[in-house]
Chain A
Amino acid sequence: MAETATLWAPRSAWAGIAQAGQIGAAGPAGVTATLLDGFGLATLIAAPGGAPALSQAVEGRLGIALPATPKIVSGVSHDAIWSGPDQWLLRAATRDGFSGLLEALSAQAAVSDQSDARAAMRLSGPRVREVLAKGVMLDLHPAAFAVGDTALTSVAYIGVHLWRLADGPDGSVFEIMVARSMVGSFWSWFAASAAEFGCQVSIDRSTGRG
């Protein structure tokens, strides 16, 4: 069995793409990127007229209601992220017990596990908006994109899902999620765009929530 376990080692979407360390300009990093790994993720789509029931079901289990507009609502261990009309991404800090949760929710929603489908990273630092402005076609000014706002958009011709978390010591904090197959091209764009300011890259393997 030990051999099987070794043979069947999972490989992160970030493997072979990015490593921990500083990229671009030396000195104090203008941007900090934390590569997220190990989270659970699923698409929930409500049946016609079924969004309230689904939201109640999720709230009953996880303490978070499903946002009706492009927002992220975060609970203790899970986030509900708007991803289209009557559609959400449910993110779990870990994959432990996630399939059971999805099974339970499948009575109220079309549930599709997407835990392996995305690469995600958290971005912060004094220059984070300047980096994102090189690809994100949205106004991320604090007055225009509030904490908890989310958007499906594209960066460098790559579809992304991004949202703003509570501010950190250096101001705005964003998370950005990209299709797994595109992460190489996405990283190429990101690394080139962040290089000017210097970027500290770290990897959070434990959870999707750091």
Chain B
Amino acid sequence: MRITCPHCGARDAQEFSYLGAADLQRPEGMAASEAAMADYVYQRDNPAGVHRELWYHGAGCHAWLVVTRDTRSHAITAVEVAKARKAGAAA
């Protein structure tokens, strides 16, 4: 596979490591419930189709990326910088 890092350009997948679903929200703070955290840690969909997932460009710029990939064909339709997602964050 080839992943186009928004910073570095198209690179071999060997430069990246995979983490999993990209859109989970960590339950933050002392008020977070154990149940919500258990969901965050363990509950995953396993879609046959379009999947937004986190990849780490460890052999490159060290950026965490959100890659939109079709799990059936490996077609990648978008790659975003994870850090840029949160409002107010410096990209």
Interface residues of A (CB under 8 A from B): 48-49, 70, 83-87, 137-138, 151-154, 159
Contacts and interface: CB of A to CB of B under 8 A. Distances in A.
Interface string B10-32: 01101100000000000000000
A84 B59 contact: no
Interface in B49-91: 59-63, 81, 83, 89-91
Which secondary structure dominates chain B's binding surface? loop
B37 interface: no
Nearest to A145: B9
Given A85-B7, A85-B81, A153 B90 contact: no
Interface residues of B, number: 17
Nearest to A87: B61
Contacts of A86: 90
Given A70-B7, A151-B8, A137 B63 contact: no
A83 B61 CA distance: 6
Nearest to A50: B90
Given A151-B9, A152-B60, 5 more contacts: A87-B61, A137-B14, A137-B15, A152-B8, A159-B59
B15 A154 contact: yes
Given A84-B63, A85-B63, A159-B59, A153 B91 contact: no
B15 A153 contact: yes
Given A48-B90, A85-B91, A154 B61 contact: no
Nearest to A139: B10
Which 6 residue pairs of A and B lie closest in terms of their CB atoms, listed nearest first? A48-B90, A154-B59, A84-B61, A137-B12, A152-B60, A49-B90
Contact of B8 (A48, A70, A87, A159): A70
25 contacts: A48-B89, A48-B90, A49-B90, A70-B7, A83-B61, A84-B7, A84-B62, A84-B63, A85-B7, A85-B63, A85-B81, A85-B83, A86-B90, A87-B61, A137-B12, A137-B15, A138-B11, A151-B8, A151-B9, A151-B60, A152-B8, A153-B15, A153-B59, A153-B60, A154-B59
B59 A85 contact: no
Given A48-B90, A85-B91, A86-B90, A137 B61 contact: no
A154 B60 CA distance: 8
A27 to B, nearest CB: 34
Contacts of B12: 137
Contacts of A151: 8-9, 60
A152 B59 contact: yes
A153 B12 CA distance: 9
